[in-house]
């Protein structure tokens, strides 16, 4: 003969319907009540999920705008500093080019001034002869030849070290085991005025929930098409059965 046990909810009727979840065996009446309670609990889970999703999209998603990250400002500052450093370095290189150019011009001008001074002295003293004219002519020819052949232009070569732009700045994502440079303050979420279910997890602002027409429980179910009333999962099934009978 099979061993029977009483329903754990009433301790009167024999338990004949087992629950695969909690492993208890209920009488028919209290098994239905047990299933109804599970439906309520599942609806609470769905409510929390809907509330969390609404809060996430309305409040949290905007904070993930990368332009609002501190790292974005850091990259902008790095870019400005790089521009400034490049400008300063280029200015220093231009100053060196200007110095080399002045040296070359000074060399030509010094030779021309020397010829001019010699000519003036010879003309003032009137002591120039054929040899002086030939010597001055040769000096002018050499300067002219040097100018035409760019001999006075400084032989300049510009060299620069290659920059590895892939490694000059890097973005690193910190993991849980990494030490962050600064401790970030946690996001404080205001508690709602009332809670759907007792939980140890943070409370989120509740989204709009409709009431079951029969028991008044918050529910996510849609309206019944025949009567336009809203029922929880359990009473929606009961309402559907009763509607078929009528």
Contact 115, 141 (CB under 8 A): no
Looking only at the bridges linking them, the beta strands covering 17-18 and 210-211 are unpaired
pLDDT at 63: 87
Read off the tokens for 191.
């508690």
Asked whether residue 130 carries a pLDDT value surpassing 60, the answer given is yes
Question: How many angstroms separate the CA atoms of 221 and 106, rounded?
Answer: 93
pLDDT tens per residue, range 164-210: 888 888 888 887 776 665 544 443 434 333 333 333 444 444 444 56
Contact 42, 53 (CB under 8 A): no
pLDDT tens per residue, range 54-113: 999 999 998 888 988 889 999 999 999 999 999 999 999 999 999 999 998 999 999 999
pLDDT at 94: 94
- 59 three-class SS: helix
Considering only CA atoms, which of 233, 228, 203, 206 is closest in space to residue 217?
233
Read off the tokens for 4.
């029977």
Contact 82, 133 (CB under 8 A): no
Read off the tokens for 174.
């910190």
Q: Tokens 């705008």 identify what position? A: 65
pLDDT tens per residue, range 16-49: 889 999 998 899 988 999 999 999 999 999 999 9
Contact 28, 48 (CB under 8 A): no
Question: How many angstroms separate the CA atoms of 213 and 223, rounded?
Answer: 10
pLDDT tens per residue, range 77-91: 999 999 999 999 999
pLDDT at 199: 38
- 31 three-class SS: helix
pTM of structure: 0.50
Q: State the alpha helices, DSSP H only, in the chain.
A: 28-55, 70-125, 130-148, 233-245
């Amino acid at each position: 003969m099979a061993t029977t046990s009483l329903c754990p909810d009433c301790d009167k009727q024999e338990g004949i319907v087992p629950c695969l979840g909690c492993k208890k065996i209920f009488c028919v009446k209290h098994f239905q009540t047990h299933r109804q309670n599970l439906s309520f609990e599942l609806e609470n889970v769905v409510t929390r999920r809907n509330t969390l999703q609404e809060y996430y999209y309305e409040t949290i998603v905007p904070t993930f705008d990368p332009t609002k990250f501190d790292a974005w400002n850091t990259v902008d500052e790095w870019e400005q500093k790089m521009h400034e450093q490049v400008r300063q370095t280029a200015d220093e290189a231009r100053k060196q080019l200007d110095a080399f150019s002045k040296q070359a011009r000074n060399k030509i001008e010094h030779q021309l001034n020397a010829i001019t001074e010699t000519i003036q002295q010879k003309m003032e003293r009137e002591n120039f002869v054929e040899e002086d004219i030939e010597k001055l002519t040769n000096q002018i020819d050499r300067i002219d030849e040097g100018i035409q052949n760019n001999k006075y232009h400084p032989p300049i070569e510009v060299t620069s070290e290659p920059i590895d732009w892939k490694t000059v700045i890097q973005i690193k994502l910190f993991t849980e085991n990494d030490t962050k440079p600064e401790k970030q303050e946690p996001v404080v979420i205001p508690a709602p005025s009332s809670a759907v279910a007792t939980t140890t997890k943070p409370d989120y602002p509740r989204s709009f929930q409709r009431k079951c027409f029969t028991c008044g429980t918050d529910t996510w179910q849609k309206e019944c098409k025949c009567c336009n009333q809203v029922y929880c999962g359990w009473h929606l099934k009961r309402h559907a059965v009763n509607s078929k009978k009528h």
